[in-house]
Structure formats: C-alpha cells, structure tokens
Amino acid sequence: MSTITVATLNLFNRIGRYEERQPLIIDQFVALSPDVIGLQEVNITTDEGMTICRLVNERLDGSPPYTIYHMGHQGKAAHSQAIAVMTRLPVEVHEGLDYVLQDNVAQRLRLRLDGGETLDFYNTHLHWPPPATDIRLKQAKRLLEWADARRGASATVIVGDFNAYEGEPAVGLMKGRFVSAHEAAHGREPEKTWPTPVNTFDPSPPGCLDYVFVDGARVLEAGLAFDRPDAADPTLYPSDHLGVAAKLDIT
C-alpha cells in the first residue's frame, strides 16, 4: 500500500501581480509538499514552471527533489502556454494528448510508487469560456477514451482546471466514471475554486472549476490548497484559482 498526496493548481500565467504572488505559491507548495501536482496556465516563454520547480527544490531540506514535465498547448498558444506536472515520484512514461479542439491538451505520467504500485496521473485544462459547454464535453470524452486505452496502472487520477461548473455535462461525465476527491471527503464540491481577488477583469460567475478525480484509490483527505492570502494583504492570493489536494491510499 502507498499513501500519496496529489494536487492541482492553475497558476494564472504570469499576470495578476505575479511577482507578488510567486512567493505565496512557493511557500504554500512547500507546506503542502504534494507527491505530484498538475499545473495549468504555465508560461513557457519565461520558464515559469522551471523556475517554480527550482525554487521549491531549494527549500526541500533533503527531501527528494521535484522534476517538471511540460505539455505545450497547440495552435496560437503553442509559443507561450503549457500545462505541466511536478513530481518527486519515479516516472515510467510521459505522453500528451492534443484534443484537436481549440488549443487545449492533456498529459499522462505513469508513476512508480514506493509500495510497488503504479499511478496513471493525468493533467488537463479544458476550454474556456463558460458558454462552451459542448466543447468541454467533447474534450472530456476524448480524455476518457485516451485513458481507457492506457489502462493497467494500480490507480488513475485525473486533475485539472476543467473550466466547468458543477452540474455541467463534462463534470457529470467525469463523475460517472471517477470519484471526485473533494466530494468524497466532504459530501460536496467546494463552494468555489475561482476566482480570488487577484482576478480583476473576468466577470464570469464564481464556482468550482478545478477537480481531482480518482479511480482505484481510497480518498483519506481532500480540501482546498493554495488558498491562503498574503498575511499583510487579503486581496493577494497565490493565483486567481484555488487549488485542490487529496491524500490517497493506493493498494
């Protein structure tokens, strides 16, 4: 049996007071110390992901270091945008999926756990804006088809910014196959994972957009992460999204 912590966080690119936000990201990352985390809106032009990985590793005090694996967006965003996974677990496979719907992508890592089990960890960022429910549903279907063709791990976890409110078809499709970790631990999803006061320009309704979906593992704990504002400024958060984390038992 292996017990691990998984998480997801949309980094909000390098906008919205990023230079002020970055220390909060690093501090709260180190405090959480997930074994594996999916990141969205990673700016590859500025090596945002590599910088975060380096800064976190400098704070580990002898713990196993993290490695970061990127999957670039497609189309017009290919030069600047990516999703990424940071993990300190051994990686056996890393591959990506182009949805061929907008510029969104997904990635999969097969991770080897201390107990000898394996974990297929998927990270994705589905299409925005809120009215694009049909596109998100098609992307979710392709994600599940991709995962179905790659079965064989002891457990599967799919995380990300789904840009889909609770009750949308894409979320319903995922919950038809997977357990939502937060819902399993608390009987409901968070009231919201977006926005925080860092967002000053998108007037879309607040709600839960970020999820940790689990199959083949027992949810021990789950909750929000990267959810603490700066001690001196209650409007400054690590991102415009809150993260979600879960502690899992895998046998």
Share of the chain above pLDDT 70, in %: 100
| Predicted local confidence at residue 100, as pLDDT | 95
Tell me the pLDDT of the chain averaged across its residues. Answer: 97
Q: CA 133, 138, 142, 147 torsion: positive or negative?
A: positive
Rounded distance, CA 100 to CA 157, Å? Answer: 23
Contact 96, 105 (CB under 8 A): yes
**Residue 118: which domain range?**
2-250
Rounded distance, CA 67 to CA 85, Å? Answer: 8
Q: For 91-113, what is the mean pLDDT?
A: 97
pTM of the predicted model as reported, rounded to 2 decimal places: 0.98
Rounded distance, CA 108 to CA 122, Å? Answer: 4
Whether pLDDT at 91 is above 90: yes
Whether pLDDT at 76 is above 90: no
Contact 185, 217 (CB under 8 A): no
Rounded distance, CA 194 to CA 208, Å? Answer: 6
The DSSP result for 216-233, as a single string, is SEEEEEEEEES-PPBTTB
Residue range 108-149, pLDDT digits in tens: 999 999 999 999 999 999 999 999 999 999 999 999 999 999
Q: For 145-172, what is the mean pLDDT?
A: 98
Tell me the residue type at 186. Answer: H
Across 102-129, b (16+ Cβ under 10 Å) vs e yields bbbbbbbbbbebeeebbbbbbbbbbbbe
Q: Give the pair of three-digit tokens for residue 67.
A: 């490695």
Contact 34, 7 (CB under 8 A): yes
Whether pLDDT at 77 is above 90: no
Count of domains forming the chain = 1
Contact 194, 211 (CB under 8 A): no
CATH code, 141: 3.60.10.10
Share of the chain above pLDDT 90, in %: 96
Q: For 1-27, what is the mean pLDDT?
A: 97
Whether pLDDT at 202 is above 90: yes
